A and B are shown apart, each in its own frame.
Chain A
Amino acid sequence: MSPYELFIAPFSEFEFMRRALAGVLALALGAGPIGVFLMLRRMSLVGDAMAHAILPGAAVGFLLSGLNLFAMTAGGLIAGFVVALLTGVVARTTELKEDAALATFYLLSLALGVTIVSLKGTNVDLLHVLFGNVLALDNQTLLLIAVNATISLLALAVIYRPLVLECVDPGFMRAVSRAGGPAHLAFLVLVVVNLVSGFHALGTLLAVGIMMLPAATGRFWARDITLMITLATASGVAAGYAGLLLSFHAGVASGPAVILVAGALYLFSLLFGRVGGLVRQYFPGRHLEA
């Protein structure tokens, strides 16, 4: 098999592969930086919790207007925002920490979602309907992912400085500025936006996976946040491309294939990463001696 057939032909020959690639790349661009910030703020599991939190909104959207992308997205966004904002407010005004506040609200939201679905009485697997497939991206969905990625990148550029300061030295941030709170809430909103677009387009596993695995990969190669974000985004993009090829040639499901490639990149970094990789830690090179 020639390199052309191996690496390019799948995309030049099939439109659905081109769409899948465009979708995965757009998602990786938006999710990369967000994943890094989530990781630095020790909120790596938030994505998973949010996946459940958006269920009632998406379910209401589905029940009201059927399989309509925009109704379901709007519902999911509203439910996600409500949970994210309540979490942020409770964490900042009461004794409960962020993780506990999120756990309580996402559980309530999930229970509400399941109740709404069961009231309707059909047992068509709503998760299957709500959460899309990377191989079936239509124009609407592609546009949604691209718009979300653009909004995320622009918004991140605006709140970048306060956000970084919040991450590395929240005490100092509070002392010099009041932008920390709003920046944090804006960031949570971005998390929801990215997850919702990812779910509808690509499925739960892919949306959360392409956010967190590249971030953890980047962590092993850089101490500087800018470089970390660049590397995370790059590894997300690489995983998307390689995963689609894997799915095409080996015949495994596409979503998991992308995440497995991202996972392989992560494991490699865990072992051989320059910053805190295991091999580096336990078999350090000789120190330079004067």
Chain B
Amino acid sequence: MVTRRLWIAAASAALLAASVMAPSLTAAQQSAHTKIRVIASFSILGDFVRNVGGDRLEVATLVGPNGNAHVYSPSPADAKKVSDAKLVFVNGLGFEGWLDRLVKASATKAPIIVASKGIRPLERAGAHDRDHEHGSADPHAWQSVANAKIYVSNIRDALIVADPAGRRDYETNAASYLARLDVLEREVRATLAKIPPDRRHVITSHNAFGYFEAAYGIHFIAPQGVSTESEASAKDVAAIISATRKEKVSAVFLENVTDPRLVQQIASETGAKVGGLLYSDALTDEKGDAPTYIDLIRHNLRQLATALTS
């Protein structure tokens, strides 16, 4: 009941925000030719940049909604986008393995802005520790709202350097977006606080929630390593099933980017509840559940809350 009320409050806040922004959109159309072109490597980062840039920017993303940035292969059109851009925003932390070659191939002079700068990286945590994966960071830093605020600050600072004339706009936009993120953070904490400690173990098909786990105390176990590229072995799957039986895992979540069959198999073998989709690396398109970052976190929060409290 409380989550629903929160949801209604959030929806009306979003409506309000939309109605405030609507008039400025027409102004934006008039000055379309003066817009600054920037690139964000994937959809979530693109959402942050759009929120800070407002109508001064024309933001394009390389890996679009529902895409998997781990195994993305860039096209010539991407190289052209990058070479036309004034700024290129990337996540960093080894997320976009394909990006260096794209930047070289496009011969762009645009500065590359690492949006995760200043975030304390977590080490990659899988269901098991593979020696060769040690020392490399978990790139999914945006899964904690506190980190998202660091992203937004970095983006604001980079935009001010690149376009000093827009300083006022960027600062106002960033301030209002940061305020919305603060509300979101409080909402996440308030909702998760109601979940009892022994029901906080869940399984996902792709271990992208290390930062969420560190920030909000929900324990995630994943059959695949931290990247979608490595295939799970029978040993991994057996370890997860054993852990599930021992630790009383309450729910199993599928994801929008990896093979759902493995998760279903584990769920049917352990009797854990199958929750809905948790979005990790990509937003959905306009019609989906998570067209923006704030929607994405709210959606995940709702899924977790329903699966873990019922």
Binding site for B on A (CB under 8 A): 10, 13-17, 19-20, 67, 121-125, 128-129, 132-133, 135-138, 244, 247-255, 257
B223-241 near A? 1/0 per residue, CB < 8 Å: 0000010111111111001
* Contact A248 to B232, CB < 8 A, known contacts A135-B265, A136-B259, A138-B264: no
Binding site for A on B (CB under 8 A): 63-64, 66-68, 71-73, 128, 228, 230-238, 241, 257-262, 264-266, 268-269
> What's the nearest-Cβ distance from chain B to residue A67, in Å?
7
Say whether A133 contacts B238, CB under 8 Å. Answer: no
Chain B residues with Cβ below 8 Å from A128 are: 71, 228, 258-259
Say whether B67 contacts A124, CB under 8 Å. Answer: yes
Say whether B67 contacts A123, CB under 8 Å. Answer: yes
4 nearest A-B residue pairs (beta carbon): A251-B235, A136-B261, A247-B234, A253-B231
Report the bound CA distance from A122 to B43 in whole Å. Answer: 13
Given contacts A124-B257, A135-B234, 10 further A-B contacts (CB under 8 A): A14-B237, A15-B269, A128-B71, A128-B258, A129-B259, A132-B259, A247-B233, A254-B231, A254-B233, A254-B234
Residue of B nearest to A256 (CB): B231
Chain B residues with Cβ below 8 Å from A252 are: 233
Residue of A nearest to B270 (CB): A15
Report the bound CA distance from A60 to B276 in whole Å. Answer: 26
Say whether A123 contacts B269, CB under 8 Å. Answer: no
* Contact A133 to B231, CB < 8 A, known contacts A16-B269, A138-B261: yes
Instruction: Give me 29 A-to-B residue pairs in the complex whose CB atoms sit less than 8 angstroms apart, sorted by A's number.
Output: A13-B238, A14-B269, A15-B268, A16-B237, A16-B241, A19-B265, A123-B63, A123-B67, A124-B67, A124-B68, A128-B71, A128-B228, A128-B258, A129-B259, A135-B237, A136-B261, A136-B262, A136-B264, A136-B265, A138-B261, A138-B265, A247-B235, A248-B238, A250-B233, A251-B233, A251-B235, A251-B236, A252-B233, A254-B231
Residue of B nearest to A131 (CB): B259
Chain A residues with Cβ below 8 Å from B64 are: 121-123
Chain B residues with Cβ below 8 Å from A253 are: 230-233
Report the bound CA distance from A122 to B71 in whole Å. Answer: 12
Chain A residues with Cβ below 8 Å from B241 are: 14, 16
Report the bound CA distance from A122 to B65 in whole Å. Answer: 8
> What's the nearest-Cβ distance from chain B to residue A200, in Å?
10
Report the bound CA distance from A244 to B63 in whole Å. Answer: 36
Say whether A17 contacts B260, CB under 8 Å. Answer: no
Report the bound CA distance from A129 to B128 in whole Å. Answer: 25
> What's the nearest-Cβ distance from chain B to residue A131, in Å?
9
Chain B residues with Cβ below 8 Å from A248 are: 233-235, 238
Say whether A135 contacts B235, CB under 8 Å. Answer: no
Chain A residues with Cβ below 8 Å from B265 are: 16, 19, 135-138
Chain A residues with Cβ below 8 Å from B235 are: 247-251
Chain B residues with Cβ below 8 Å from A138 are: 261, 264-265, 268
Residue of B nearest to A243 (CB): B234
Report the bound CA distance from A15 to B238 in whole Å. Answer: 10
Chain A residues with Cβ below 8 Å from B67 are: 122-124
Report the bound CA distance from A122 to B69 in whole Å. Answer: 11
Say whether B238 contacts A67, CB under 8 Å. Answer: no
Residue of A nearest to B262 (CB): A136
Report the bound CA distance from A76 to B5 in whole Å. Answer: 48
* Contact A10 to B259, CB < 8 A, known contacts A16-B265, A124-B66, A136-B265: no
Chain B residues with Cβ below 8 Å from A249 are: 235
Chain A residues with Cβ below 8 Å from B128 are: 251
Chain A residues with Cβ below 8 Å from B258 are: 128
* Contact A67 to B233, CB < 8 A, known contacts A16-B269, A123-B67: no
> What's the nearest-Cβ distance from chain A to residue B213, in Å?
23
> What's the nearest-Cβ distance from chain B to residue A69, in Å?
9
* Contact A125 to B262, CB < 8 A, known contacts A14-B238, A251-B235, A254-B233: no
> What's the nearest-Cβ distance from chain B to residue A8, in Å?
14
> What's the nearest-Cβ distance from chain A to residue B100, in Å?
19
Report the bound CA distance from A19 to B234 in whole Å. Answer: 12
> What's the nearest-Cβ distance from chain B to residue A7, in Å?
14
Residue of A nearest to B130 (CB): A251
* Contact A125 to B233, CB < 8 A, known contacts A14-B241, A67-B260, A135-B265: no
Report the bound CA distance from A137 to B71 in whole Å. Answer: 24
Residue of A nearest to B239 (CB): A251
Report the bound CA distance from A136 to B238 in whole Å. Answer: 12
Report the bound CA distance from A244 to B238 in whole Å. Answer: 12
Report the bound CA distance from A247 to B239 in whole Å. Answer: 12
> What's the nearest-Cβ distance from chain A to residue B227, in Å?
12
> What's the nearest-Cβ distance from chain A to residue B20, in Å?
32
Report the bound CA distance from A14 to B238 in whole Å. Answer: 7
Say whether B261 contacts A123, CB under 8 Å. Answer: no
> What's the nearest-Cβ distance from chain A to residue B73, in Å?
8
Say whether A20 contacts B234, CB under 8 Å. Answer: yes
Residue of B nearest to A137 (CB): B265
Chain A residues with Cβ below 8 Å from B259 are: 128-129, 132-133, 136
Report the bound CA distance from A255 to B264 in whole Å. Answer: 19
Most buried by B among A16, A135, A249, A253: A135
Report the bound CA distance from A137 to B258 in whole Å. Answer: 16
